[in-house]
Structure 1
Protein backbone atom coordinates (compact mmCIF):
# COMPACT_ATOMS: atom_id res chain seq x y z
CA UNK A 1 0.00 0.00 0.00
CA UNK A 2 1.56 3.34 -1.05
CA UNK A 3 2.14 6.28 1.25
CA UNK A 4 -0.52 8.44 -0.45
CA UNK A 5 -3.22 5.84 0.15
CA UNK A 6 -2.14 5.38 3.77
CA UNK A 7 -2.36 9.11 4.35
CA UNK A 8 -5.84 9.23 2.79
CA UNK A 9 -7.06 6.35 4.95
CA UNK A 10 -5.56 7.89 8.07
CA UNK A 11 -7.23 11.22 7.32
CA UNK A 12 -10.58 9.55 6.68
CA UNK A 13 -10.28 7.60 9.93
CA UNK A 14 -9.39 10.74 11.86
CA UNK A 15 -12.34 12.62 10.38
CA UNK A 16 -14.73 9.76 11.21
CA UNK A 17 -13.42 9.54 14.77
CA UNK A 18 -13.57 13.29 15.14
CA UNK A 19 -17.15 13.43 13.95
CA UNK A 20 -18.09 10.63 16.34
CA UNK A 21 -16.46 12.35 19.29
CA UNK A 22 -18.10 15.61 18.29
CA UNK A 23 -21.54 13.98 18.24
CA UNK A 24 -20.94 12.52 21.69
CA UNK A 25 -19.62 15.76 23.18
CA UNK A 26 -22.48 17.81 21.73
CA UNK A 27 -25.30 15.93 23.43
CA UNK A 28 -27.97 18.55 24.12
CA UNK A 29 -28.39 19.72 27.70
CA UNK A 30 -31.97 19.80 28.90
CA UNK A 31 -32.94 22.03 31.82
CA UNK A 32 -34.94 19.99 34.33
CA UNK A 33 -36.67 20.99 37.56
CA UNK A 34 -37.89 18.97 40.52
CA UNK A 35 -39.28 19.41 44.01
CA UNK A 36 -36.63 18.41 46.59
CA UNK A 37 -39.12 17.32 49.27
CA UNK A 38 -41.25 14.59 47.69
CA UNK A 39 -39.68 11.49 49.25
CA UNK A 40 -38.91 8.87 48.13
CA UNK A 41 -39.36 10.25 44.61
CA UNK A 42 -36.89 13.11 44.99
CA UNK A 43 -34.83 14.17 47.97
CA UNK A 44 -31.43 15.61 48.75
CA UNK A 45 -28.71 13.21 49.83
CA UNK A 46 -27.08 15.06 52.72
CA UNK A 47 -23.77 13.25 52.25
CA UNK A 48 -23.28 13.79 48.52
CA UNK A 49 -25.40 16.90 48.03
CA UNK A 50 -27.02 15.16 45.04
CA UNK A 51 -30.70 14.66 44.34
CA UNK A 52 -31.69 11.02 44.70
CA UNK A 53 -34.94 9.04 44.62
CA UNK A 54 -37.23 7.06 42.36
CA UNK A 55 -37.91 9.96 39.98
CA UNK A 56 -34.21 10.82 39.81
CA UNK A 57 -33.30 7.27 38.79
CA UNK A 58 -36.10 7.27 36.21
CA UNK A 59 -35.03 10.65 34.79
CA UNK A 60 -31.35 9.75 34.51
CA UNK A 61 -32.17 6.47 32.76
CA UNK A 62 -34.58 8.20 30.37
CA UNK A 63 -32.00 10.90 29.59
CA UNK A 64 -29.32 8.32 28.93
CA UNK A 65 -31.53 6.38 26.53
CA UNK A 66 -33.09 9.43 24.87
CA UNK A 67 -29.67 11.02 24.35
CA UNK A 68 -29.67 14.22 26.37
CA UNK A 69 -27.77 15.57 29.37
CA UNK A 70 -29.53 17.01 32.42
CA UNK A 71 -29.08 20.36 34.14
CA UNK A 72 -31.18 19.83 37.28
CA UNK A 73 -32.58 22.57 39.52
CA UNK A 74 -34.92 22.38 42.50
CA UNK A 75 -37.88 24.57 43.40
CA UNK A 76 -41.15 24.48 45.34
CA UNK A 77 -43.74 22.29 43.67
CA UNK A 78 -46.16 25.12 42.98
CA UNK A 79 -43.59 26.77 40.69
CA UNK A 80 -42.75 23.69 38.64
CA UNK A 81 -45.56 23.64 36.06
CA UNK A 82 -45.31 27.43 35.47
CA UNK A 83 -41.55 27.04 34.93
CA UNK A 84 -42.13 24.46 32.20
CA UNK A 85 -45.06 26.36 30.73
CA UNK A 86 -43.01 29.55 30.31
CA UNK A 87 -39.92 27.75 29.00
CA UNK A 88 -37.80 28.52 32.05
CA UNK A 89 -37.37 24.74 32.24
CA UNK A 90 -37.51 22.14 29.48
CA UNK A 91 -38.96 19.38 31.63
CA UNK A 92 -40.10 18.62 35.16
CA UNK A 93 -40.34 15.42 37.14
CA UNK A 94 -41.71 15.57 40.68
CA UNK A 95 -44.50 13.05 41.07
CA UNK A 96 -46.58 15.27 38.78
CA UNK A 97 -50.11 13.99 38.29
CA UNK A 98 -51.34 14.11 34.72
CA UNK A 99 -54.53 16.20 34.63
CA UNK A 100 -56.66 17.72 31.88
CA UNK A 101 -55.88 21.22 33.15
CA UNK A 102 -52.14 20.66 33.14
CA UNK A 103 -52.26 19.06 29.70
CA UNK A 104 -53.56 22.35 28.33
CA UNK A 105 -50.28 24.10 29.13
CA UNK A 106 -47.58 21.38 29.06
CA UNK A 107 -46.97 18.09 27.26
CA UNK A 108 -46.72 14.91 29.31
CA UNK A 109 -44.83 11.73 28.72
CA UNK A 110 -46.69 8.45 28.93
CA UNK A 111 -47.58 7.64 32.58
CA UNK A 112 -44.71 6.07 34.51
CA UNK A 113 -46.30 5.62 37.96
CA UNK A 114 -49.81 4.83 39.24
CA UNK A 115 -50.78 6.64 42.43
CA UNK A 116 -53.66 8.16 44.42
CA UNK A 117 -54.38 10.17 47.58
CA UNK A 118 -54.41 8.99 51.21
CA UNK A 119 -55.15 10.35 54.68
CA UNK A 120 -52.48 10.45 57.40
CA UNK A 121 -53.36 11.03 61.07
CA UNK A 122 -51.54 10.75 64.38
CA UNK A 123 -51.00 7.23 65.68
CA UNK A 124 -53.92 6.11 67.83
CA UNK A 125 -56.37 8.60 66.30
CA UNK A 126 -59.46 6.49 65.56
CA UNK A 127 -61.74 9.43 64.79
CA UNK A 128 -60.90 9.40 61.06
CA UNK A 129 -61.88 6.49 58.83
CA UNK A 130 -62.62 8.32 55.58
CA UNK A 131 -62.61 11.77 54.00
CA UNK A 132 -66.00 12.81 55.41
CA UNK A 133 -64.58 12.38 58.91
CA UNK A 134 -62.28 15.34 58.21
CA UNK A 135 -65.17 17.81 58.25
CA UNK A 136 -64.52 20.46 60.89
CA UNK A 137 -60.85 19.48 61.16
CA UNK A 138 -57.58 21.12 60.12
CA UNK A 139 -56.04 19.37 57.12
CA UNK A 140 -52.49 19.84 55.87
CA UNK A 141 -51.68 19.41 52.18
CA UNK A 142 -49.24 20.80 49.63
CA UNK A 143 -49.65 24.07 47.71
CA UNK A 144 -50.43 23.53 44.02
CA UNK A 145 -51.08 19.80 44.41
CA UNK A 146 -54.01 17.72 43.18
CA UNK A 147 -54.67 16.80 46.82
CA UNK A 148 -55.34 20.47 47.57
CA UNK A 149 -57.73 20.67 44.61
CA UNK A 150 -59.48 17.48 45.74
CA UNK A 151 -59.98 18.82 49.26
CA UNK A 152 -61.37 22.10 47.95
CA UNK A 153 -63.82 20.24 45.73
CA UNK A 154 -65.04 17.69 48.26
CA UNK A 155 -64.78 19.55 51.58
CA UNK A 156 -64.55 23.22 50.66
CA UNK A 157 -65.45 25.36 53.66
CA UNK A 158 -66.46 22.32 55.72
CA UNK A 159 -62.85 21.99 56.90
CA UNK A 160 -59.82 24.20 57.45
CA UNK A 161 -57.53 23.35 54.54
CA UNK A 162 -53.98 24.46 55.25
CA UNK A 163 -51.59 24.32 52.25
CA UNK A 164 -47.85 24.02 52.90
CA UNK A 165 -44.93 24.63 50.50
CA UNK A 166 -43.30 21.25 51.18
CA UNK A 167 -44.36 17.82 52.37
CA UNK A 168 -41.93 18.00 55.30
CA UNK A 169 -43.76 21.12 56.52
CA UNK A 170 -47.16 19.48 56.61
CA UNK A 171 -45.83 16.34 58.36
CA UNK A 172 -44.13 18.54 60.94
CA UNK A 173 -47.44 20.35 61.41
CA UNK A 174 -49.20 17.04 62.04
CA UNK A 175 -46.57 15.88 64.53
CA UNK A 176 -46.73 19.24 66.29
CA UNK A 177 -50.52 19.32 66.46
CA UNK A 178 -51.01 22.28 64.10
CA UNK A 179 -53.20 20.10 61.86
CA UNK A 180 -55.37 17.08 62.60
CA UNK A 181 -54.59 15.21 59.40
CA UNK A 182 -52.55 15.29 56.21
CA UNK A 183 -54.07 14.49 52.82
CA UNK A 184 -51.54 13.88 50.07
CA UNK A 185 -50.08 11.47 47.51
CA UNK A 186 -50.28 7.86 48.72
CA UNK A 187 -46.62 6.81 48.23
CA UNK A 188 -45.28 9.87 50.02
CA UNK A 189 -47.72 9.52 52.90
CA UNK A 190 -46.93 5.81 53.21
CA UNK A 191 -43.18 6.40 53.11
CA UNK A 192 -43.38 8.94 55.93
CA UNK A 193 -45.51 6.60 58.06
CA UNK A 194 -42.91 3.85 57.69
CA UNK A 195 -39.85 6.06 58.29
CA UNK A 196 -39.80 9.29 60.29
CA UNK A 197 -43.42 8.91 61.32
CA UNK A 198 -43.18 5.31 62.46
CA UNK A 199 -45.08 4.88 65.72
CA UNK A 200 -46.30 8.48 65.54
CA UNK A 201 -48.51 8.52 62.44
CA UNK A 202 -50.77 6.12 60.59
CA UNK A 203 -52.36 5.95 57.14
CA UNK A 204 -56.15 5.51 57.24
CA UNK A 205 -59.03 5.20 54.80
CA UNK A 206 -59.14 4.12 51.15
CA UNK A 207 -57.15 5.30 48.16
CA UNK A 208 -58.79 8.37 46.65
CA UNK A 209 -58.72 9.55 43.05
CA UNK A 210 -56.53 7.11 41.13
CA UNK A 211 -53.76 9.12 39.49
CA UNK A 212 -50.86 8.68 37.12
CA UNK A 213 -47.56 10.55 37.19
CA UNK A 214 -45.88 11.79 34.02
CA UNK A 215 -42.80 13.79 33.01
CA UNK A 216 -43.89 17.31 32.02
CA UNK A 217 -42.31 18.94 28.96
CA UNK A 218 -42.77 22.32 27.32
CA UNK A 219 -45.53 22.21 24.72
CA UNK A 220 -44.27 20.82 21.43
CA UNK A 221 -41.06 19.47 22.95
CA UNK A 222 -39.06 17.16 20.70
CA UNK A 223 -38.10 15.07 23.73
CA UNK A 224 -41.57 13.65 24.47
CA UNK A 225 -41.34 10.85 21.91
CA UNK A 226 -37.76 9.81 22.83
CA UNK A 227 -38.76 9.81 26.50
CA UNK A 228 -41.78 7.61 25.78
CA UNK A 229 -39.63 5.17 23.83
CA UNK A 230 -37.13 5.09 26.70
CA UNK A 231 -39.85 4.43 29.28
CA UNK A 232 -41.34 1.63 27.17
CA UNK A 233 -37.92 0.02 26.73
CA UNK A 234 -37.20 0.30 30.47
CA UNK A 235 -40.43 -1.51 31.30
CA UNK A 236 -39.78 -4.18 28.69
CA UNK A 237 -36.20 -5.00 29.71
CA UNK A 238 -36.80 -4.94 33.48
CA UNK A 239 -34.94 -1.73 34.27
CA UNK A 240 -38.12 -0.04 35.49
CA UNK A 241 -38.91 -2.98 37.78
CA UNK A 242 -35.39 -2.82 39.25
CA UNK A 243 -35.74 0.90 40.01
CA UNK A 244 -39.20 0.37 41.50
CA UNK A 245 -37.97 -2.43 43.75
CA UNK A 246 -35.06 -0.28 44.95
CA UNK A 247 -37.44 2.38 46.36
CA UNK A 248 -40.76 0.62 47.03
CA UNK A 249 -40.20 -3.13 47.12
CA UNK A 250 -41.77 -5.63 44.75
CA UNK A 251 -43.72 -4.01 41.94
CA UNK A 252 -47.49 -4.67 41.85
CA UNK A 253 -49.13 -5.81 38.62
CA UNK A 254 -50.81 -2.41 38.18
CA UNK A 255 -47.54 -0.58 37.48
Structure 2
Protein backbone atom coordinates (compact mmCIF):
# COMPACT_ATOMS: atom_id res chain seq x y z
CA UNK A 1 0.00 0.00 0.00
CA UNK A 2 2.86 2.35 0.90
CA UNK A 3 4.72 1.50 -2.30
CA UNK A 4 1.56 2.24 -4.28
CA UNK A 5 1.16 5.65 -2.62
CA UNK A 6 4.79 6.54 -3.36
CA UNK A 7 4.29 5.47 -6.99
CA UNK A 8 1.15 7.68 -7.33
CA UNK A 9 3.00 10.65 -5.82
CA UNK A 10 5.96 10.20 -8.15
CA UNK A 11 3.68 9.99 -11.19
CA UNK A 12 1.88 13.14 -10.03
CA UNK A 13 5.16 15.05 -9.69
CA UNK A 14 6.30 13.92 -13.15
CA UNK A 15 2.97 15.03 -14.67
CA UNK A 16 3.18 18.43 -12.95
CA UNK A 17 6.73 18.91 -14.25
CA UNK A 18 5.63 18.11 -17.79
CA UNK A 19 2.72 20.58 -17.59
CA UNK A 20 4.99 23.31 -16.22
CA UNK A 21 7.48 22.72 -19.02
CA UNK A 22 4.74 22.94 -21.65
CA UNK A 23 3.41 26.12 -20.08
CA UNK A 24 6.87 27.68 -20.09
CA UNK A 25 7.39 26.73 -23.72
CA UNK A 26 4.04 28.26 -24.71
CA UNK A 27 4.91 31.48 -22.86
CA UNK A 28 8.29 31.72 -24.60
CA UNK A 29 6.65 31.09 -27.95
CA UNK A 30 4.06 33.80 -27.26
CA UNK A 31 6.73 36.32 -26.22
CA UNK A 32 8.73 35.55 -29.34
CA UNK A 33 5.63 36.15 -31.46
CA UNK A 34 5.08 39.52 -29.81
CA UNK A 35 8.63 40.60 -30.62
CA UNK A 36 8.23 39.69 -34.28
CA UNK A 37 4.76 41.14 -34.71
CA UNK A 38 2.60 43.29 -32.47
CA UNK A 39 0.80 46.54 -33.20
CA UNK A 40 2.32 49.59 -34.84
CA UNK A 41 0.19 52.36 -33.31
CA UNK A 42 0.41 55.69 -35.13
CA UNK A 43 -1.51 58.89 -34.50
CA UNK A 44 -2.90 61.88 -36.34
CA UNK A 45 -5.54 64.51 -35.60
CA UNK A 46 -8.04 62.77 -37.90
CA UNK A 47 -9.21 66.24 -38.98
CA UNK A 48 -6.91 66.90 -41.92
CA UNK A 49 -8.38 65.67 -45.23
CA UNK A 50 -7.11 64.26 -47.53
CA UNK A 51 -4.23 63.25 -45.26
CA UNK A 52 -6.15 61.90 -42.26
CA UNK A 53 -9.90 62.06 -41.67
CA UNK A 54 -12.96 60.02 -40.75
CA UNK A 55 -15.12 58.39 -43.40
CA UNK A 56 -18.07 56.31 -42.15
CA UNK A 57 -16.44 56.15 -38.70
CA UNK A 58 -13.22 54.80 -40.20
CA UNK A 59 -9.90 56.68 -40.15
CA UNK A 60 -8.69 57.06 -43.74
CA UNK A 61 -6.43 59.26 -45.86
CA UNK A 62 -2.93 59.50 -47.31
CA UNK A 63 -1.18 59.48 -43.90
CA UNK A 64 -3.23 56.49 -42.77
CA UNK A 65 -2.36 54.47 -45.87
CA UNK A 66 1.33 55.38 -45.61
CA UNK A 67 1.33 54.35 -41.94
CA UNK A 68 -0.43 51.09 -42.81
CA UNK A 69 2.11 50.31 -45.54
CA UNK A 70 5.00 51.07 -43.15
CA UNK A 71 3.52 48.72 -40.53
CA UNK A 72 3.33 45.91 -43.08
CA UNK A 73 6.96 46.49 -44.08
CA UNK A 74 7.85 46.19 -40.38
CA UNK A 75 5.88 42.95 -40.10
CA UNK A 76 3.47 44.57 -37.65
CA UNK A 77 -0.27 45.19 -37.41
CA UNK A 78 -1.25 48.77 -38.37
CA UNK A 79 -3.32 50.56 -35.75
CA UNK A 80 -4.16 54.19 -36.64
CA UNK A 81 -5.54 56.32 -33.80
CA UNK A 82 -6.49 59.98 -33.31
CA UNK A 83 -5.30 62.52 -30.77
CA UNK A 84 -5.97 66.29 -30.46
CA UNK A 85 -3.23 68.11 -32.34
CA UNK A 86 -2.33 70.46 -29.49
CA UNK A 87 -1.40 67.51 -27.21
CA UNK A 88 -0.16 65.00 -29.78
CA UNK A 89 3.57 65.37 -29.02
CA UNK A 90 2.96 65.08 -25.26
CA UNK A 91 0.91 61.92 -25.90
CA UNK A 92 3.76 60.42 -27.97
CA UNK A 93 6.20 61.17 -25.14
CA UNK A 94 3.77 59.46 -22.74
CA UNK A 95 4.00 56.34 -24.96
CA UNK A 96 0.32 56.36 -25.93
CA UNK A 97 1.40 55.42 -29.47
CA UNK A 98 4.57 54.60 -31.39
CA UNK A 99 4.66 57.40 -33.94
CA UNK A 100 2.89 60.49 -35.27
CA UNK A 101 2.03 60.09 -38.94
CA UNK A 102 -0.12 63.19 -39.33
CA UNK A 103 1.57 65.58 -41.78
CA UNK A 104 3.68 67.14 -39.03
CA UNK A 105 6.13 69.79 -40.25
CA UNK A 106 9.72 69.33 -39.13
CA UNK A 107 10.74 72.37 -37.08
CA UNK A 108 13.65 73.19 -34.76
CA UNK A 109 11.26 73.53 -31.82
CA UNK A 110 9.71 70.11 -32.40
CA UNK A 111 13.14 68.53 -32.89
CA UNK A 112 13.90 69.43 -29.26
CA UNK A 113 11.05 67.13 -28.18
CA UNK A 114 10.94 64.31 -30.76
CA UNK A 115 12.96 62.75 -33.56
CA UNK A 116 11.79 62.85 -37.15
CA UNK A 117 12.26 60.46 -40.03
CA UNK A 118 13.49 61.71 -43.37
CA UNK A 119 10.79 63.98 -44.92
CA UNK A 120 8.05 61.95 -46.59
CA UNK A 121 6.60 64.88 -48.52
CA UNK A 122 6.87 68.66 -48.90
CA UNK A 123 4.10 71.21 -49.27
CA UNK A 124 3.52 74.93 -48.96
CA UNK A 125 1.75 77.30 -46.57
CA UNK A 126 -0.96 78.85 -48.74
CA UNK A 127 -3.25 81.85 -48.21
CA UNK A 128 -6.93 81.29 -49.07
CA UNK A 129 -9.74 83.87 -49.21
CA UNK A 130 -13.39 83.86 -50.29
CA UNK A 131 -14.03 84.06 -54.03
CA UNK A 132 -15.48 87.60 -53.77
CA UNK A 133 -12.55 88.97 -51.73
CA UNK A 134 -10.55 91.34 -53.95
CA UNK A 135 -8.82 93.23 -51.12
CA UNK A 136 -6.22 90.53 -50.40
CA UNK A 137 -3.99 89.95 -53.41
CA UNK A 138 -0.70 89.13 -51.67
CA UNK A 139 0.66 88.32 -48.21
CA UNK A 140 1.35 92.03 -47.67
CA UNK A 141 -2.41 92.59 -47.65
CA UNK A 142 -2.78 90.32 -44.60
CA UNK A 143 -1.56 93.02 -42.23
CA UNK A 144 -4.15 93.66 -39.53
CA UNK A 145 -6.64 91.17 -41.02
CA UNK A 146 -8.48 88.34 -39.25
CA UNK A 147 -6.71 85.09 -40.14
CA UNK A 148 -7.90 81.57 -39.39
CA UNK A 149 -5.46 78.70 -38.73
CA UNK A 150 -5.34 75.30 -37.05
CA UNK A 151 -4.30 75.52 -33.39
CA UNK A 152 -0.67 74.63 -32.57
CA UNK A 153 0.24 74.47 -36.26
CA UNK A 154 3.19 76.14 -37.96
CA UNK A 155 0.58 78.26 -39.75
CA UNK A 156 -0.47 79.81 -36.43
CA UNK A 157 3.03 81.19 -35.81
CA UNK A 158 3.20 82.44 -39.39
CA UNK A 159 -0.15 84.22 -39.17
CA UNK A 160 1.04 86.14 -36.09
CA UNK A 161 3.73 87.76 -38.23
CA UNK A 162 0.98 89.61 -40.11
CA UNK A 163 -1.68 90.28 -37.49
CA UNK A 164 -2.67 90.07 -33.83
CA UNK A 165 -6.15 88.91 -34.85
CA UNK A 166 -5.64 85.17 -35.27
CA UNK A 167 -8.52 82.72 -34.79
CA UNK A 168 -7.65 79.09 -34.12
CA UNK A 169 -9.58 76.00 -35.19
CA UNK A 170 -9.35 72.25 -34.61
CA UNK A 171 -9.95 71.60 -38.32
CA UNK A 172 -8.71 73.28 -41.50
CA UNK A 173 -11.98 72.50 -43.26
CA UNK A 174 -13.96 74.39 -40.59
CA UNK A 175 -11.63 77.37 -40.93
CA UNK A 176 -11.94 77.36 -44.74
CA UNK A 177 -15.74 77.12 -44.51
CA UNK A 178 -15.75 80.20 -42.25
CA UNK A 179 -14.26 82.22 -45.11
CA UNK A 180 -17.71 82.12 -46.69
CA UNK A 181 -19.39 83.58 -43.58
CA UNK A 182 -19.37 87.36 -43.89
CA UNK A 183 -17.44 89.18 -41.19
CA UNK A 184 -15.91 86.04 -39.65
CA UNK A 185 -12.51 85.67 -41.37
CA UNK A 186 -10.55 87.60 -43.98
CA UNK A 187 -8.14 84.78 -44.82
CA UNK A 188 -6.96 81.30 -43.86
CA UNK A 189 -3.40 80.02 -43.96
CA UNK A 190 -3.17 76.27 -44.42
CA UNK A 191 -1.40 73.61 -46.43
CA UNK A 192 -1.78 74.16 -50.18
CA UNK A 193 -2.78 70.53 -50.87
CA UNK A 194 -5.35 70.58 -48.06
CA UNK A 195 -6.95 73.80 -49.31
CA UNK A 196 -7.13 72.69 -52.94
CA UNK A 197 -8.63 69.35 -51.88
CA UNK A 198 -11.26 71.15 -49.76
CA UNK A 199 -12.26 73.34 -52.73
CA UNK A 200 -12.68 70.27 -54.92
CA UNK A 201 -14.38 67.92 -52.45
CA UNK A 202 -16.56 70.43 -50.53
CA UNK A 203 -17.29 72.80 -53.39
CA UNK A 204 -16.10 75.77 -51.32
CA UNK A 205 -16.35 79.19 -52.94
CA UNK A 206 -12.81 80.17 -52.01
CA UNK A 207 -9.56 80.78 -53.88
CA UNK A 208 -5.83 80.75 -53.22
CA UNK A 209 -3.78 83.95 -53.17
CA UNK A 210 -0.44 83.90 -55.00
CA UNK A 211 2.23 81.30 -54.40
CA UNK A 212 2.90 79.48 -51.09
CA UNK A 213 4.45 81.68 -48.38
CA UNK A 214 7.00 78.99 -47.54
CA UNK A 215 7.52 75.24 -47.89
CA UNK A 216 7.27 72.71 -45.05
CA UNK A 217 8.94 69.31 -44.97
CA UNK A 218 6.73 66.72 -43.28
CA UNK A 219 8.22 63.95 -41.16
CA UNK A 220 7.10 61.03 -39.04
CA UNK A 221 7.65 61.88 -35.37
CA UNK A 222 9.08 59.19 -33.07
CA UNK A 223 10.12 59.33 -29.41
CA UNK A 224 13.75 60.32 -28.84
CA UNK A 225 14.29 57.14 -26.82
CA UNK A 226 13.19 54.86 -29.69
CA UNK A 227 16.17 55.13 -32.05
CA UNK A 228 15.73 51.57 -33.40
CA UNK A 229 12.16 52.31 -34.49
CA UNK A 230 13.32 55.54 -36.17
CA UNK A 231 15.87 53.56 -38.17
CA UNK A 232 13.35 50.85 -39.09
CA UNK A 233 10.65 53.33 -40.17
CA UNK A 234 13.15 55.22 -42.34
CA UNK A 235 14.12 51.95 -44.04
CA UNK A 236 10.46 51.02 -44.57
CA UNK A 237 9.71 54.47 -46.00
CA UNK A 238 12.61 54.18 -48.47
CA UNK A 239 11.41 50.73 -49.51
CA UNK A 240 7.90 52.06 -50.19
CA UNK A 241 9.33 54.80 -52.41
CA UNK A 242 11.57 52.35 -54.29
CA UNK A 243 8.95 49.64 -54.85
CA UNK A 244 6.29 52.08 -56.08
CA UNK A 245 3.82 51.64 -53.21
CA UNK A 246 4.29 55.25 -52.03
CA UNK A 247 3.64 56.54 -55.55
CA UNK A 248 0.52 54.38 -55.84
CA UNK A 249 -0.95 55.80 -52.62
CA UNK A 250 -0.01 59.36 -53.61
CA UNK A 251 -1.58 59.03 -57.08
CA UNK A 252 -4.82 57.89 -55.44
CA UNK A 253 -5.17 61.11 -53.43
CA UNK A 254 -3.34 63.75 -55.47
CA UNK A 255 -2.93 62.45 -59.02
CA UNK A 256 0.84 62.63 -58.65
CA UNK A 257 3.76 61.41 -56.56
CA UNK A 258 4.15 64.17 -53.93
CA UNK A 259 7.48 62.76 -52.71
CA UNK A 260 9.17 64.18 -55.83
Q: Which bin holds the TM-score, normalised by the shorter protein?
A: 0.7 to 0.9
Instruction: Give 1:214's aligned residue.
Output: 219
CA distance in 1, matches of 2:79, 2:144: 44
Pairing 1:1-255 to 2, within 5 Å after superposition: 23=33, 27-46=37-56, 49-152=57-160, 154-157=161-164, 160-177=165-182, 178-198=184-204, 200-221=205-226, 222-251=228-257, 255=260
CA distance in 2, matches of 1:75, 1:21: 29
Which ranges in structure 2 are unaligned for 5 or more consecutive residues?
Answer: 1-24
Considering only CA atoms, is the larger Rg found in Structure 1 or Structure 2? 2
Question: How does the TM-score come out when normalised to structure 2?
Answer: 0.82
Instruction: Give 1:11's aligned residue.
Output: none
Write out per-residue CA displacement over residues 70-120 of structure 1, whole angstroms, 9 at most, x where no aligned residue.
333212211212211332332111110011110111111111011110011
Q: Answer yes or no: is the 8 Å Cα contact 2:147–2:166 preserved in 1.
A: yes
Q: Answer yes or no: is the 8 Å Cα contact 2:36–2:76 preserved in 1.
A: no
Alpha carbon RMSD of aligned pairs, Å? 2.2
Which ranges in structure 1 are unaligned for 5 or more consecutive residues?
Answer: 1-14
Write out per-residue CA displacement over residues 174-202 of structure 1, whole angstroms, 9 at most, x where no aligned residue.
2223111111111111111222134x111
> Is the partner of 2:213 in helix, strand or coil?
strand
Q: CA shift at 1:130, angstroms?
A: 1.6
Write out per-residue CA displacement over residues 41-67 of structure 1, whole angstroms, 9 at most, x where no aligned residue.
011111xx2111100110000011022
Change (3 A) 1:201 1:156: closer
> Is the partner of 1:206 in helix, strand or coil?
coil
- State the number of aligned residues: 232
CA distance in 2, matches of 1:169, 1:23: 44
Change (3 A) 1:245 1:102: same
CA distance in 1, matches of 2:99, 2:219: 11
